[in-house]
Every structure is written in C-alpha cells, then in structure tokens.
Amino acid sequence: MTESTLLHLSNDELLRTTRAVRKRLDYERPVSRQLIEECLQLALQAPNGGNLNSWRWIIIDDPDVLRQVAEIYNGGLDDFIATFGDAGYAGAHVPGAERIETSTQHLRDNFHRLPAVLLPLISGRTDQASGHPGAVFWQAGMWGSIIQAVWSFMLALRARGLGSAWTTGHLWREQAMADLLSIPYDRYTQVGLFPIAYTLGTDFKPAHREPLEKVMSWNTFED
C-alpha cells in the first residue's frame, strides 16, 4: 500500500472502526510529512466557531524533541496516577479496562519511538474562563472549535492505514510542554498529544459501548 492509497472503507465502517490505537502502532515505519499534511488539510475543513480558525497545529517529528515530549507525557501521567490514592483508578470497572491499561503502558514505553506526534492548540485559556459568568459558554465554544477537526484528522489517518489515540496525560505538565515548544502559554490551550503511525494490520472492530437504549432518552433526561 502506497502512502496515498485509501483503505476504501465505507463511511459507516470508518466511523465504526476508528479506534484508539496504541499496541498496534508501527513504531518502525516512517510517515512522510506530505501524508500528515494531507490528513491535516482535510481536518481543517471541520467546523469551528465563527470560522475564526483560531487553532494552531504543531507536528513533532524530530527524534530529539520527541524524546523530550515523551518525558513530559510520561511525567504528566505519573502526576495523574498519583491522584488515585487507595481507591485506584475510577474506570477500573469498565469492560476491557485491563487491556486499556496494558495498551496505555505500551504507548508510554514506546512514545519516544513514534514517527510523529500532533499537538493541536486553541486560542485562549479554558482555565481563565472558569471564573466567568458565561464560563460554560466560552469553554464549550473553545472545545467545539477544535475537537471536530482533531477527530477528522484521526478519521483521515484511519482511512489511509494509520492510527492514533487521544492522549491528555501531558496536560498535567502543560507549562513544561509550552516551554519546550515555545508555545505562548497565556494565549493558547493545548488540546492533547496525538500519535501518528501506520497500524500493524488494518482490521479494527467496533468497541464495547453501552446499549443505545441505556444512554438515550427522548424529550427529557433519564438516568
């Protein structure tokens, strides 16, 4: 399969089988900048608030920088894990939690070997909006102006035989990442880190989800 070859998944197959990929990332196979830019060009067609295009996209493929990014990522996850206390991780009861844990550890062990990583930014600081009377409005608008584009990027990767995962562990050390990559911390919120790599095989299946009737209601809230 050449880099520009699509998997020819139907729209429904693409939506149903785009998974968070960690263990099945190919850490050895290079990914060209041209291919990454092709996927990002598609992602930029996603809706964003007021069409302000207030996002920025940093792609990291320098091995020396990636090693430092990996250190911050792993350090942030250590900070997060330290908050669990005796109760442990709140999601430990979720079906497949053990597989998620082992795959997350696999990514931690190999993060520095990734061909590339995407770090999206959105203009503004969500934490500064927290004390504002319209905080929910502003925060929803900020996240709504970037999340759709990131997901489009992940779909574009999947359609071309690549994979990614939404990781946020480094945000426990967001300032350190800002310092490393010269990001104006007071002006931009970091969204996450997104691995970019070909996948080992392209056959992915739907994941466990709660039945629709358990999480959906019509016209009023039901718990």
Backbone angles phi, psi at 198, to 5 degrees: -65, 155
Q: Going residue by residue through the chain (223 aa), what tens digit of pLDDT does each one get?
A: 445 589 999 999 999 999 999 999 999 999 999 999 999 999 999 999 899 899 999 999 999 999 999 999 999 999 999 998 876 665 566 676 688 889 999 999 999 999 999 999 999 998 876 677 788 888 899 999 999 999 999 999 999 999 999 999 999 999 999 999 999 999 999 999 999 999 999 999 998 899 999 999 999 999 8
Query: CATH code for 11-84+94-198?
Result: 3.40.109.10
Global pTM reads: 0.91
Tell me the DSSP string of 33-96.
HHHHHHHHHHHTTS--GGG---EEEEEE--HHHHHHHHHHHHHHHHHHHTT-GGG--TTTTSTT
Task: For residues 1 and 159, give the distance between their C-alpha atoms in angstroms, rounded to a whole number.
Answer: 12
State whether the Cα torsion 26-27-29-35 is positive or negative: positive
What per-residue confidence (pLDDT) applies to 85? 82
The pLDDT, as a whole number, for residue 2 is 46
Residue boundaries of the structural domains of the chain: 11-84+94-198
The secondary element (H helix, E strand) that includes residue 195 is: strand 194-198
Helix (H, G, I), strand (E, B) or coil at 126: coil
